[in-house]
């Protein structure tokens, strides 16, 4: 994905920049990295036409002064400094750096301060004192950037087949600049081949103190590593822990704004579905390079049990193609688990984990905008239930815009709700939320509902989609080793034996009625949802004694409660005593706000807009 910042302010600057680039003489193609008789060059990283980042490791058996000679491109952004970027102001789009191979921490890098020359050809000659140990040197060239006191703009150069054109967004928006951008792209490639690069050297007398190795250096205590991860990856592994063990987690990813993570990982207890660890923006540190590069480095303790390890990436900024400057440890992009103590390494086994949704009781997925869907199931015995739901949070605190819930079909009581406070981030935009938990439900009949608002749902996202977009909605599954599908059967409301009369899904301008007979006096439960405004009912029900014509019960504003959604949605849910005899139940609506044609937010139990009479 190509990044454009402060576009409108930058427009004039970009125009001038392009014209000057097209008019300027071609960049020199000869390498300035010359050898000399007194120095021994042991590393030379050059030619970035096909590779965006190159790196190599080296060990020194004593303290040494390393001479670094490099040429890159970039400048310090006064605009970013003015607005504040927490010290992450290195806008070098082609540069090198050195990290400690053991700690993975930065020890030196090319910056606008230690380089000189034109933005597209900044050179560096510097001596770096290094302690005995192992190190890795990297050089990257991801694209162009330009800045002034008032603006900052950049574009990415994607080397993958079919994606070699620079700045596609601007090409489409400003087609008349095509030739200028193509010229800039050619200049970029010329510099990437013959100008940019880095060499490391030592005096010839110290040549024997240096040994090379492939980067990155591997940890001998590694339990599992998924590194060099590219775009749109979904890594899922099963961890079986035979005894309590403490492990190191080292994860590199992408995030922003303290709430949104795009490339990150987490660990879930398979039995309880509790996330025992999750990489978030708040518990991560800056990983170098672009401001959105983050890393987690820490320990967690896992009790004996089974766990699910997940690591995901979105469609941009990864080892496949960095659309901004890569992190300091680019080859380790992904997640690595290692044992704190080498003797505990055998306590954790790692295998592939195929997360097939098994024992599905009810499922409502791939839900689109403005939807309201339901499904039902019956349990013949108390059971553990796995609820997996993905939705969208609302702008209001602790409120969901797309969400699901479960009710007891007999009592209409909520037994589970997708509450914002119980959700975790579902990847992509911060508003993508999910619940992945195990609950226990008693024997009974249940209805599952899922509803969406008018934006950001399956196949019509107005922001970054969740990582598991195909499951957008709710899935109910059996959980636990003792669960049996023999105790489950489908359920539809029409099958209820307790219903005496039912008039639901009533639309505008209707007066519907239905008779029922009681063979003896009994208490009946009346469940009715209608519309009430200003203390009066607009959509409501009542019951008449057929023999006498007397109204024996009526739905009034004072006897109803709030039904969710708009304030005018009213609910009656009580029991009344009726004598033996024949009755007729009525429900009447006015010309607005009824099932299928709401002029405000519908009630939570919208399918029951109307009235139902149940046996007690």
Which of 54-63, 251-260, 435-444 bottoms out in mean pLDDT, i.e. has the lowest? 251-260
Read off the pTM.
0.76
Q: Strand 372-379 and strand 444-451: pairing?
A: antiparallel
- 253 by Cβ neighbours in 10 Å (0-12 / 13-18 / 19+) ranks as buried
Q: At CA 332, angle to CA 331 and CA 335, rounded to 5?
A: 150
User: What's the pLDDT tens digit per position in 326-354?
Assistant: 999 999 999 999 999 889 999 999 999 87
Q: What pLDDT is attached to residue 103?
A: 96
Domains 222-352 and 497-615 belong to one CATH topology: yes
pLDDT value at 30 more than 50: no
- 87 by Cβ neighbours in 10 Å (0-12 / 13-18 / 19+) ranks as exposed
Over residues 351-367, mean pLDDT: 90
The DSSP 8-state label assigned to residue 107 in this structure reads E
Per DSSP, the three-state class of 212 is strand
Q: What pLDDT is attached to residue 16?
A: 39
Q: What pLDDT is attached to residue 473?
A: 98
Over residues 258-287, mean pLDDT: 92
Which of 105-109, 237-241, 375-379, 391-395 bottoms out in mean pLDDT, i.e. has the lowest? 391-395
pLDDT tier for residue 537 given thresholds of 50, 70 and 90: very high
Closest to 589 measured CA to CA, from 597, 577, 581: 597
According to CATH, the topology of domain 497-615 is Jelly Rolls (2.60.120)
Listed in sequence order, the residues at least 6 apart from 481 whose beta carbon sits closer than 8 Å to its beta carbon are none
Question: Which option is the CATH number for 222-352: 2.60.120, 1.10.10, 1.20.272, 3.40.50?
Answer: 2.60.120
User: What's the pLDDT tens digit per position in 455-474?
Assistant: 999 999 999 899 899 999 99
Listed in sequence order, the residues at least 6 apart from 398 whose beta carbon sits closer than 8 Å to its beta carbon are 419, 420, 421
pLDDT value at 15 more than 50: no
Are 205 and 310 in contact by the 8 Å Cβ rule? The answer is no
Q: What pLDDT is attached to residue 179?
A: 58
Q: Into which CATH architecture does domain 360-493 fall?
A: Sandwich (2.60)
The overall average pLDDT reported for the chain is 87
Query: Taking the domains of the chain in order of start, what are their residue ranges?
Result: 7-55+62-201, 222-352, 360-493, 497-615
For residues 23 and 575, the model is more confident at 575
């Amino acid at each position: 994905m190509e990044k454009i910042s402060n576009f409108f302010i930058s427009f004039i600057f970009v125009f001038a920049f392009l014209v000057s680039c097209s008019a300027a003489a071609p960049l020199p193609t000869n390498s300035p990295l010359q050898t000399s008789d007194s120095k021994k060059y042991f590393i030379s990283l050059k030619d970035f036409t096909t590779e965006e980042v190159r790196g190599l490791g080296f060990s020194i058996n004593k303290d040494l002064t390393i001479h670094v000679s490099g040429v890159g491109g970039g400048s310090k952004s006064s605009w970013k400094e003015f607005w504040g970027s927490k010290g992450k102001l290195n806008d070098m789009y082609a540069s090198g750096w050195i990290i400690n191979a053991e700690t993975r921490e930065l020890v030196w890098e090319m910056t606008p301060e230690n380089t000189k020359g034109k933005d597209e050809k900044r050179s560096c000659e510097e001596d770096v004192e290094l302690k005995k140990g192992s190190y890795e040197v990297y050089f990257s060239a991801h694209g162009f950037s330009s800045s002034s006191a008032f603006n900052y703009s950049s574009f990415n150069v994607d080397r993958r087949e079919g994606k070699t054109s620079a700045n596609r967004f601007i090409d489409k928006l400003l087609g008349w600049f095509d030739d200028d951008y193509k010229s800039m792209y050619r200049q970029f490639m010329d510099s990437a081949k013959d100008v940019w690069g880095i060499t490391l050297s030592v005096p010839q007398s110290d040549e024997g103190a240096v040994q090379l190795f492939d980067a990155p250096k591997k940890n001998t205590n590694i339990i599992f590593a998924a590194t060099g991860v590219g775009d749109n990856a979904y890594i899922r592994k099963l961890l079986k822990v035979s005894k309590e063990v403490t492990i190191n987690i080292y994860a590199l990813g992408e995030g922003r704004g303290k709430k949104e993570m795009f490339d990150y990982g987490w660990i879930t207890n398979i039995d309880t579905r509790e996330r025992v660890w999750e990489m978030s923006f708040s518990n991560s540190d800056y990983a170098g390079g672009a401001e959105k590069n983050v890393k987690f480095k820490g320990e967690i303790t896992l009790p004996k049990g089974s766990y699910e390890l997940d690591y995901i990436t979105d469609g941009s900024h990864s080892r496949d193609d960095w659309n901004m400057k890569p992190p300091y440890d680019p080859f380790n992009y992904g997640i690595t688990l290692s044992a704190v103590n080498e003797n505990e390494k055998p306590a954790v086994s790692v295998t592939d984990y195929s997360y097939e949704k098994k024992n599905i009781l009810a499922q409502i997925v791939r839900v689109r905008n403005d939807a309201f869907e339901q499904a039902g199931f019956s349990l013949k015995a108390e059971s553990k239930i796995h609820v997996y739901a993905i939705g969208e949070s609302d702008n209001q605190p602790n409120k969901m815009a797309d969400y699901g819930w479960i009710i007891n079909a007999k009592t209409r009581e909520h037994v589970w709700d997708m509450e914002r406070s119980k959700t975790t981030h579902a990847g992509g935009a911060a508003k993508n939320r999910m619940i992945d938990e195990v609950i226990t439900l008693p024997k009974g009949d249940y209805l599952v509902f899922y509803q969406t608002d008018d934006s950001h749902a399956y196949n019509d996202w107005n922001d970054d989609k969740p990582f598991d977009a195909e499951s957008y909605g709710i899935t109910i599954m059996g959980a636990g080793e003792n669960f049996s599908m023999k105790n489950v059967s489908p359920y539809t409301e029409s099958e209820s034996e307790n219903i005496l009369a039912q008039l639901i899904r009533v639309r505008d301008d209707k007066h519907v009625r239905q008779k029922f007979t009681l063979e003896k006096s009994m208490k009946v439960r009346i469940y009715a949802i209608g519309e009430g405004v200003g203390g009066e009912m607009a959509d409501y029900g009542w019951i008449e004694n057929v023999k006498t014509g007397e109204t024996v019960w009526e739905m009034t504003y004072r006897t109803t409660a709030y039904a969710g959604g708009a304030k005018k949605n009213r609910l009656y849910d009580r029991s009344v005593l009726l004598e033996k005899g024949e009755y007729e139940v009525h429900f009447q609506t006015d010309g607005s706000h009824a099932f299928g044609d709401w002029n405000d937010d519908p009630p939570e139990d919208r399918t029951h807009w109307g009235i139902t009479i149940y046996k007690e």
